[in-house]
Structure 1
Amino acid sequence: MTDATEGSAAPSRATDVDETARALGARIRALRQRRGMTLTQAAAEAELSHSFLSQVERGLERLSMASLFRIARALGTTQQDLLTEDPPDRPEGAFHVYRRESGSPVDAGTGPVAVLAQHRARFLPMVFSGSFEDGAWWQHDEEEFLYVLEGQVIVSLGDTEVLLEAGDATYYESSIRHRWRTPEGVSCRVLVVKEQQHSR
């Protein structure tokens, strides 16, 4: 998983605003305002520029997962909470259908991350595609499951490294430091399912 910084993902043009990016920006802005933080304060806490966060809140920039993590931490929430909407009052047995052409408000550094859930539920499934280099170590409160759809990925779990190929999977608890990369010259598609722990 790449630890991309602001601006590493391809920016959206103002004439081609992605509805999902606009919705994510609106959720970030609403939570920031509920927290009583100015745009400048939130940007400083997230170690991002004021102008970049402003563009994000207006849906004009696609975030990297690392930048989304920093914003979530600054606002006292999680990536999952920001990526998924507050569910409307829904009857028992409600469901959501993801369509292949759905837009993505976040980027893995090599392309959009497909967020397969719309409303908050007990878990958040996402598909990452591309080639990845070692980035920062991740450690969070949510447990995580990774399944390789195509290609190969090397998962580092604490002091252990495991090579996974198509059809392989791993599940790790929140206390384990982890990161993953692809072998040189190899690309992959992986399904990552994160546990949801809503903070709002």
Structure 2
Amino acid sequence: MKQDGDLDALVRQRIKSLRTARGLSLDELATRCYLSTSTLSRIETGHRRISLDQLAPLARALGTTLDQLVESATDEDVVIRPVHDENRGATTWLLSKDSGPHGMTVAKMRLTEPAPAPDSGKLGVHPGKDWFTVLSGTVLLVLGERTILVETGQAAQFSTMTPHAFGAHGGPAEILTILDHDGQRSHLHP
């Protein structure tokens, strides 16, 4: 945002849009925020300045956070660009801008290299659990001495304290994965 006025207008638009999206009238939202209907109307139309002591109850009543209500609008985070790791034979699209609840990360991965063999010494361990679903192709999941084929439309969840690795089987495969902080560090960073 270039000016405070732009952000102010954006916050007003968000308040009105959230109110209508939740099916609330001016009267209903005003009551929930302990504001008069006329004050809320003037806030939405720009005829009254918004104070911090009004924003917090408005955010709560609209089911959002104060941070989300006042964050600036930028276009820089709209396009998700892939990151290719030739050594691992994986291309990754981070689908969650910030880590979600409990540090979880959502990513799409295109795997082109096979998983290492169970006796290769290349299986890793880390605290937590990993989860993925196969969008296309087949993934070979190596868990300790076991090898498991996970086909398109199937999902896998496993303890990551078991030595593990996964890779493409019989051609490229694409997965959608949810990783905790340790899984992200192990699977998404060289």
* TM-score (norm. length: structure 1): 0.45
Which of the two has higher C-alpha Rg?
Answer: 2
Normalised to the residue count of structure 2, the TM-score between the two structures is 0.47
